[in-house]
Structure 1
Amino acid sequence: MNFQHPAAWVLPLLFFAGCATSPTDFSAVKLPASWQQAGNFPTASPDRDLSQWWASFGDAEMGRLIRSALENSPDIASAVANVRQAQALRKAETSFLFPELNYSGSGSTANTWQKNGADFSSENYSGGLSASWEVDFFGKNRQSVIAASADADAAEANLDSARSSLAAETALAYLQLRASESSLQLVNQSIASQEETTQLAKWRNQAGEIDQLEYDQARATLESARATISTLQQNIGQTRNRLNLLAGRVPGELAITASYHLPQPQSRLAIGIPADTVRQRPDVRSAGYGWLAAIARTRSAEAEKFPSFTLSGNLGTDSLSSSKVFNPQNVSSNLIAGLTGPIFNAGRIRAQIEGQDAAEERAFQNYRASILTALSEVEDALIACRRTSEKIGTLEKAATAARSAADLAAKKYTAGVIDITPVLDTQRNDLAIRQNLITARLDRANAHIELYRALGGGW
């Protein structure tokens, strides 16, 4: 096998201990010493438990929904079945390392008719044991066991990856629900304020103080705000259905109370160093096990070039009477040793080796890509955590100013100092900025969830 990759990407030290595989040492792969975007995030100990990361949001409803999803999701059940299947296949491959013992037995009766009228019958009974064993001199079967063991470990890592992804997707859907509910509350509050302004414009129009244009402007702004209610209600209903789907339930089965509180994570999440993060990522572990399985299958294919040695034996008995079928005098035995090896197969073995070698290289590149993806996703999440926090700080100041401007414009309009245009502009601006603030808080919470997922998600 000849991988074409930069010299810095030396193969990691992934060795076998018997039939066990353990791709946990990534020290030979060039990893950064620290995160570029870590900023003021503290560094956690390597053994920090992230299995209940959602507790940092302090929202009991979120935790309940995530636990329900992990317990009932068909995706998790399917991943568990994949683990059972891989473990069974590993047991099947292991059986080829041991002798095979079989038994057989038969009995027959034949009737004949004689000329003198007498009826005669003949009986024959036989039984036996047979055993065979392929002596694995060149490790073909042992390598198959190693490959199957790596497949089983990869299936377990995929199960962990499915759990991590499901917990994150459930949390993201839950946050989207709360953000939509918060936006709905905000729009309703804004509509109440705009209804007062529109009613005042109506009275002034009826009194001849303003023309129809100002009144129509107020009505248009009000109806435009009301139109967003249907969109938000649609988002709320569909997100609730998604939460039921993630939890393996039919729509409406889960009782989810309404809330206008958008949960926020703790301000400073402790992160690990890059090497610890790579070890925690189940998708990286799965790719590493896939590479180990490919290596073992290449070696198994190479063993096909060598001869195979088999031992077989039989222990049998043959008797004319069922009562004497186990008589030692009727027992016979034999032992046969066989040696077979390839001479001509039209290049089949060579082609199989070349194919496995290519599969091994592909598995290595997938493994390498999974490490690069892990590092990139953590850096991206760290950037998002930092920038969304900065954005929230700016929008909070803008929201305060916009609320003050809207209140002041409304008072001046009531006093007849200004026309309705500044009032409507400040009301729209106030609503837009506060909606942007909700979106920014959602983005910040989502960024922390993506960071938890990028760090391994606790599995």
Structure 2
Amino acid sequence: MRYRALTSTLLACAALAGCASRAPIAEPPPKVELPAGWTAAGTQDHPAWPDKNWWQRFGSPELTQLVDEGQSSNLELAGALARVRQAEAEARIAGVSLLPNATFYSDANRAVPLRSGSASTSADSGVQVSYEVDFWGRNKAGVASAEASLEANRFDRQTVALTVTSGIVSTYLQVLSLRDRLAVARGHVANAEHVLALVEAQKNAGAASSLDLARQRSAVAQQKSKIPDLVQQEREAQAALAVLLGKTPQTFSVGQQGLDTISLPEVSPGLPSELLSRRPDIHRAEANLAAANANVAVARANLLPSIRLTGAMGTQSSALLSLLNAPNLLANVSASLVAPIFDGGRLKRERDLAVARKQELIQVYRATVIAALSEVDTALGQIRSLDEQRRLMTAELEQARQAYDLAEIRYKTGAEDLMTVLDTQRALSDVQNDIGILKLKRLQATVSLYKALGGGWQDAST
């Protein structure tokens, strides 16, 4: 009967606590004024957001393999996953406050008289049960804060994954672009040496001066001097890619040699409002705001009295063997009210701190949304500008190549001097180098657009 009485009392108290506790009211994220559409959204009738495996659209099996390796081996991603596990543990710890706390105690004593009488042995053991009635919703608010923080850490991991993936793709394209530029630079050296052979032949025939010969030798040396810097840039880019893959640079090498086989994918966004469900960093800011809102509820509840229920069930006996004798069973239920009286204003200051933190995160959320909109608009503008530059520079390259070929032919016949050949050679070299850089920028602008649009990620709950 004592067991039943204690159990019934504790269940009634828990039920009372459940009815009295108040969960923090979830507040919607602050509104941010969104534009009607993208300023450079293109002309597609059916906008296509990035898909989950957007990097495959570049058409490189090696790139796909490297992205897969990076997603499983990147050290920043491993750290982000560890933070998610920490948040999961913290959420479980916070949930313990909603449950009763039971403690077992046991004590045994033996009394031996100094003069006369017989020794006696006594034992005391039992279970102490305590429970805090969450009348003001403080414990539930703490659980809500921990769960929101867990969500924020999960979204943070997705943000890190998106950053790492786009970094791998962008750096891989940079390595291939530098290899293309190296091939072009070596081609320029070969052209300069070809012209040098012509000048030497003209000099031997008395048709060219020593000055012409010195100028062409200088041009050859100038073209050769560009190669070591490009080699070093390619080495640094490959090392950066190895770090993104969680590998040492000494054990890693890119197999593909250039951008010739890389496809230029097309992507176009829909409405700006859809971006709110396609960027994990926006959801992370929203989850942080929800956690801050719950922390405000905790801080406010700390200013109010707390009710603690305690129940004890135990036994007393003169010997340990009689611990379970029914007549010795004891049951006790008590309640206590604890209220802060004077703490120097600490609890009020903690409440003010929680409110100020929430106001900060409101502005962080708004800034995150605005930054996301700006990144998409900037990436779209870059793509449009780079496409126009590429169209004009392609025409310039064609004309520079024709000018160089004509200058070389006329120099052979004596109709042009060496300076004209050098000028056209230098112009062709500059245009070819610039168009190689422009091609890389255009590919990386596509990567930036994929990243700005959330990289194919979308919240499963939307």
Q: Common fold, TM-score beyond 0.5? A: yes
Query: Which position in structure 1 is the counterpart of 2:374?
Result: 376
Indicate conservation of the 8 Å contact 1:281/1:455, yes or no: yes
Distance in 2, matches of 1:297 and 1:268, equals: 44
Identify the residue that residue 280 of structure 2 maps to in structure 1. Answer: 282
Out of 160-169 and 212-221, give the one that drifted further.
Answer: 212-221
Which one of the candidate residues 235, 245, 248 is aligned to 2:246?
248
1:201 to 181, 199, 202: 199
User: Hey, what does 1:107 align to over in structure 2?
Assistant: 108
Partner of 1:303: 301
The correspondence of residues 105-144 of structure 1 with structure 2, limited to 5 A, is 105-109=106-110, 121-144=119-142
> 1:58 is matched by which residue type in structure 2?
G
SS of 1:96's equivalent? helix
| 1:33 and 2:36 matched | yes
Higher helix share: 2
Alignment of 1:4-15 (within 5 A): none
Letter in 1 for 2:63: M
1:273, 1:331 → 2: CA distance? 71
Tell me if the contact between 2:317 and 2:328 (Cα under 8 Å) persists in the aligned partners. Answer: yes
Letter in 1 for 2:292: A
Does the aligned pair in 2 maintain the 1:21–1:149 contact within 8 Å? no
CA contact (8 A) 1:134 1:308 kept: yes
Q: Which runs of 5+ in 2 are unaligned?
A: 1-21, 458-462
How far apart are residue 108 of structure 1 and its match? 4.0
- Root-mean-square deviation (CA), in Å? 2.2
Aligned to 2:330: 332
Query: Aligned runs of 1:181-220 on 2, under 5 Å?
Result: 181-220=179-218
CA distance in 2, matches of 1:22, 1:268: 38
Give the corresponding residue for 1:165: 163
Query: Deviations 1:331-377 (Å, cap 9, x if unpaired)?
Result: 21211111122233222222111111110000100000000000000
Fraction of identical pairs, as percent: 28
* Partners of 2:180 and 2:258 within 8 A in 1: yes
In the TM superposition, residue 58 of structure 1 has moved relative to its aligned partner by 0.8
Map of 1:78 onto structure 2: 79
Structure 1 contact 263–445 (Cα < 8 Å) conserved: no
Alignment-derived partner of residue 429 in structure 1: 427
- In structure 1, distance between residues paired with 2:261 and 2:160: 24
Q: Residues 199 and 110 (structure 1 numbering): CA distance in 2 closer, same or farther, change over 3 Å?
A: farther
Aligned twin of 2:391: 393
Q: Which residue of 392, 406, 413 maps to 1:415?
A: 413
Deviation at residue 263 of structure 1 after TM alignment: 5.6
* Deviation of 1:40 (Å): 2.5
1:318-329 superposed matches below 5 A:
318-329=316-327
- Secondary structure in structure 1 of the residue aligned to 2:124: strand
Paired residues of 1:315 and 1:334 also in contact (CA < 8 A):
yes
SS at 2:123's partner residue? strand
Partner of 1:350: 348
**Structure 1 residue matching 2:304: 3-state secondary structure:** coil
Contact persistence 2:264–2:443 (CA under 8 A): no
Unaligned runs of 5+ in 1: 1-16
Contact 1:21 / 1:289 at 8 angstroms: preserved in 2?
no
> 2:50·2:453 contact (CA, 8 Å) conserved in 1?
no
CA contact (8 A) 2:24 2:137 kept: no
Deviation (angstroms), 1:252? 3.0
Deviations 1:376-420 (A, max 9, x none): 000000001111111111111111111111111111112222111
Aligned amino acid, residue 82 of structure 1: R
Tell me how far apart the structure 2 counterparts of residues 40 and 395 of structure 1 sit (CA, whole Å). 24
In the alignment, the residues of structure 1 paired with residue 388 and residue 27 of structure 2 have an alpha-carbon distance, to the nearest angstrom, of: 42
1:57 and 1:265 in contact (8 A); partners too: yes
What residue in structure 2 maps to residue 98 of structure 1? 99
Task: State the Cα distance separating 1:209 from its structure 2 match.
Answer: 2.0
Q: Normalising to structure 2: TM-score of the pair?
A: 0.90
Q: Which residue of 2 is the match for residue 457 of structure 1?
A: 455
Other structure's SS at 1:32 match: coil
- Partners of 2:307 and 2:324 in 1: how far apart? 32
SS of 1:317 mapped into structure 2: strand
State the 1:296 CA deviation: 0.9
Structure 1 residue 206 displacement after superposition: 3.4
Q: Give SS of 2:399's match.
A: helix
Instruction: Please say if residues 42 and 270 of structure 1, whose CA atoms lie closer than 8 Å, have aligned partners that are also in contact.
Output: no
- Is the contact between residue 173 and residue 259 of structure 2 (CA under 8 Å) also seen in structure 1? no
Task: Return the alpha-carbon distance in structure 2 between the equivalents of residues 41 and 435 of structure 1.
Answer: 32
3-state SS of 1:427 partner = helix
Q: What is the deviation of 1:268?
A: 3.0
**In the alignment, which residue of structure 1 is the partner of 2:359?**
361
Give the aligned partner of residue 173 of structure 2.
175
Residue identity in the other structure for 1:38: A
Tell me the TM-score normalised to structure 1 length.
0.90
